[in-house]
Amino acid sequence: MTDLVLFHHALGLTEGVRAFADRLASAGRTVHTPDLFAGRRFDTVEEGVAHAQELGFATVLERGREAVAGLSEGLVYAGFSLGVLPAQLLAQTRPGARGAVLMESFVPPSEFGTWPDGVPAQVHGMADDPFFAGEGDLAAAREHAASGAAEVEVFTYPGDVHLFADSTLPTYDEDAAGLVAERVLAFLERVG
């Protein structure tokens, strides 16, 4: 079975991110949850993004690379929001990637080079999320899917909140989060 690396969002490695990882692991998967912020947590997305900016996004990406350095190459890389940056970078640049699960964010693939042949992806987000839809991530994901460059599934969920799959946050949407988990598990079955 393919292992999964799940990178946290801008609030840090919360219990809600760990709970989502545990949900995937309960289906027999090994799920790694690196802490890109070395234990720091934040109350708002803005505070977490400010911390990432203070660290430097290059440092966040490097911490993502370091987190997988001792792991096998045949991984699926996943991330929530800010965590999509290292997940997508690794899916696009680390040899042997089996897939990418990009939740509530998507970066145009040209930011990290080109999308590798044979690496499928899922993109998940709320249809009216001001970060995901409002800042162009949803449009970029749909454009990438339509290009035919890779097998890319784009899933939208009704609503306008960000970080809806973290059960420790007031933005949590149990139904949408459950559907994300089901779709991710089906994806993992397909890729190995």
Model confidence over 11-37: pLDDT tens digits? Answer: 999 999 999 999 999 999 999 999 999
Q: Could you tell me which residues come within 8 angstroms of residue 12 by beta carbon, excluding any fewer than 6 positions away? A: 35, 37, 39, 40, 41, 42, 48
Name the strand (E) or helix (H) holding 7: strand 3-7
Q: Is the pLDDT of residue 1 over 80?
A: no
Given a cut of 90, is residue 192 above it in pLDDT?
no
Rounded to two decimals, what is the model's pTM? 0.96
Averaged over 125-149, what is the pLDDT? 95
Task: Say if CB 103 and CB 159 are below 8 A apart.
Answer: no
Residue 116 DSSP one-character state? P
Type of residue at 98: R
Rounded to whole angstroms, how far apart are CA atoms 39 and 17?
Answer: 13
Q: Residue 1: exposed, middle, or buried by beta-carbon count in 10 A (0-12, 13-18, 19+)?
A: exposed
- Residue 169 confidence (pLDDT) above 80: yes
CA atoms of 168 and 146, how far apart (whole Å):
34
Residue 117, SS3 per DSSP = coil
pLDDT for 2 equals 82
Task: Give the DSSP H or E segment for 15.
Answer: helix 15-25
- All structural domains of the chain with their residue ranges: 3-191
pLDDT digits (tens, 9 = 90+) for 44-86: 999 999 999 999 999 999 999 999 999 999 999 999 999 999 9
pLDDT at residue 52, rounded to an integer: 94
Range 3-191 has CATH code 3.40.50.1820: yes
Residue 120 scores a pLDDT above 90: yes
Give the model confidence (pLDDT) of 149-159 as tens digits: 789 999 999 99
- Report the pLDDT value the prediction gives residue 148, as an integer from 0 to 100: 87
Helices (H), 56-102: 57-68, 84-93
Residue 100: other Cβ atoms inside 10 A? 29
